[in-house]
Amino acid sequence: MRPKILYPLFGPLTSIKGIGPKNASLLKYLCGNYIVNLLTHAPASYIDRRNNPKIKDLKEDSIVTLTVTVESHAPSFNKRMPYRINCSDETGIISIVYFNARSIYIKKLFPINSKKVISGKAEAYKDIYQIAHPKYVVDENELESIKQIECVYPLTAGITSRILRKSIDSALLTCVDLPEWIPEDILNKNGWSNWKQSLINLHKPKEIYTKILDNKYLNRLAFDELFSHQLKLRLVRNKLTLIKGNSLKATNKLIKKLESNLDFKLTKDQIKSISEISKDLSSDTKMLRLLQGDVGSGKTIVAIFALLQVVENNKQGILMAPTELLAQQHYETIKNFLDKLDVSISLITGSIKNDRNYNADIIIGTHALFQENASFQDIGLLIIDEQHKFGVHQRILLSEKAGNECDTLLMTATPIPRTLELAAYGDMDVSKLVSMPLNRKPIITKSMSNDKIIDLKSALLKKIRNNEKIYWVCPLVEESETNSIQSVTARLKDLESYYGEELVAMIHGKMKSDEKNQIMDNFKAGKTKILIATSVIEVGIDDPDATVIIIENSERFGLSQLHQLRGRVGRGVKESSCILLFQKPLTDTAKKRIKIMKETNDGFKIAEEDLIIRGSGETLGAKQSGLPDFRLSDLSIHQKILEMARNLSIETIKNDPTLKTQTGKAQRTLLHLFNNEVAIDYIKSG
């Protein structure tokens, strides 16, 4: 239950003076339902209006606040020409310019010989300076009405800067003093004010910060947000460590047989990860571990070792994949590895109507496994593949469905920067596969403008004659699968006319599972040589004969997605390449992405660069729904603050695991403030 002290902050937006139902609806879309959401809607930047020069000292494109005398009016008699008001001070003359102005209004605003204070951007025009459509025009005695430092906020359609600023100013009046949840030594070390004062100074700054990290008021609030999240993760983790798990010690009856059948050497990272997972499975506490590795780093074989350890203890292992395509691939791969072992394997997906063996040692399927009224024997391990999209609540729910004692292993082929890892997976242990298998050759990446597609098509003929296969990826347009299909269809017709219909096929997300499976079977069998697709092939398609991937309009894709797509090739013994087609002209960001892709195959390095280029706002978007949505902090900037928050959360749970001290009670308030009260439920239930 939310503490009473927070009630004013969680009042509806309509309770603020000046916000009616219409503006409340727009503000809800922009920032949220409650007053606190409005208060934590941080400025994107600031405008400095403290520059009060004389006209003779003006500089091009500078924001200035001038005190001038109105000299004369020069109305426009041509709609395309501006209305000019000539003003002066003792040092020179300046023009105030309005386009499409109403003369009556302008003459009333600028009486001849009146003193006016004007604030706006000064621009040079011919031999004098001018200010077009000044932001402020007030009388000399109203100077204080001009904010010296003006906040610039992210907006939405229907909400003006003026309305938003007035709304936030009114919201600040409801701001309450909250008990301090940050230890005094951290406050003093960083020069931080209390929560209320930090909010006030965020929205009513007295100085300009050229760098975000210099803004101590924003840093304090960012710390609060990150600390609340880290505290939640730490409390959840603490709860999980109290849950008794199955002690599944390796007998090596099956594991040794698998090792002897392998025709390749495991990498150091694979050996380490297998050992870490085995240790977790052997312990009597519940395992919750993340296995992250780059595309092609060998996560599947690590998962197989874990599954066999479970089977050795007469329990079931379940591997869940996000798509039927990927589930099918896992089934075939695991079945091949375990061909000579006495282990039963079952594939259960939505399209498989019969022969559902829920008694098999290892079951592979999609999330639908737990949506059905399936009766499993005794699940010892749940492996969730490609579940970087799952948040802490979803992870817990899935593992609970499998059984409270069931160990859980999550896998992702999306390399995660350390800052995002700490933010999203602070409740978990992490194993990493950084090194690639010895037989993996680096993929050669080239870029090419779209106007050279004819040359590219000609060059691919040699690959086709050499029985090599090609992926041709078309971009998502406006995040719409429908538009994407149109793009794919157009490319299909183009390539069919060039290579012949029998060599080219198309696959996309709107197809039925049976149709997609048939297309993939034909591609794997070599009946078709070129597979045109949307980014549906980003995950789960593995063909060692595929040596070329072409990504059309690559400038539309993010770095991590480009890297994921590139990883679809280079899985066989032949040299592989990735061709990044782009449409001219390229933005600076697109140029950076293409340059990085050409320089490295290291997914972890690429993920770090992606975070820097895009910022955490985009990286933590809807597609990465398992990652938290932060409002005040930016993980691409606030790495050190995240580390501080994490360290304090560890120390807090160590010394005050149930948050019973005075500071602990304040930290409970913090959890409620940022809607992380689920963690308090864990305290109560623990």
Coil/strand/helix, residue 460: helix
Tens of pLDDT, residue by residue over 571-603, are 777 889 999 999 888 988 899 999 999 999 888
**Helices 603-619 and 588-599 sit at what angle, rounded to 10 degrees?**
150
- Local confidence band at 178 (pLDDT 50, 70, 90 cut-offs): very high
pLDDT in tens, 414-452: 777 777 777 767 777 889 898 877 777 789 999 999 889
Query: What's the rounded mean pLDDT across residues 252-276?
Result: 92
Element (H, E) at 666: helix 662-673
User: Phi and psi dihedrals of 530, rounded to 5?
Assistant: -125, 125
What DSSP designation does 389 have? T
What is the residue type of 604?
Answer: F
pLDDT of residue 334: 94
Helix ranges (DSSP H) in 466-587:
481-499, 513-524, 559-566
pLDDT of 472 reads 93
Burial 129-164 (b: 16+ CB within 10 A, else e): bbbeebbbbeeeeeeeebbbebbebeeeeebeeebb
**What is the arithmetic mean of pLDDT over 225-241?**
87
Mean pLDDT to the nearest integer, 463-489: 72
Q: Which residue has the tokens 């078709």?
A: 528
CA dist 580 and 232 (Å) reads 42
Dihedrals phi, psi of 408, to nearest 5 degrees? -130, 130
Q: How far apart are CA 470 and CA 578, in angstroms?
A: 10
| Pairwise CA distance, residues 239 & 668, whole Å | 16
> For strand 379-385 and strand 316-320, is the pairing parallel, antiparallel, or unpaired?
parallel
**Can you name the residues that pair with 124 across neighbouring β-strands?**
129
> How much of the chain exceeds pLDDT 90, in percent?
50
Strands (E), 222-320: 288-293, 316-320
Contacts of 108 (CB under 8 A, 6+ apart): none
Higher pLDDT residue, 394 or 558? 558
Please tell me the predicted confidence (pLDDT) of residue 398.
Answer: 64
pLDDT at 228 over 90: yes
DSSP structural state of residue 524: H
Mean pLDDT of the chain: 86
Determine the average pLDDT of the residues in 486-506.
Answer: 88
Which amino acid does the sequence have at 288?
L
Q: Whole-model pTM?
A: 0.74
**DSSP tag of 304:** H
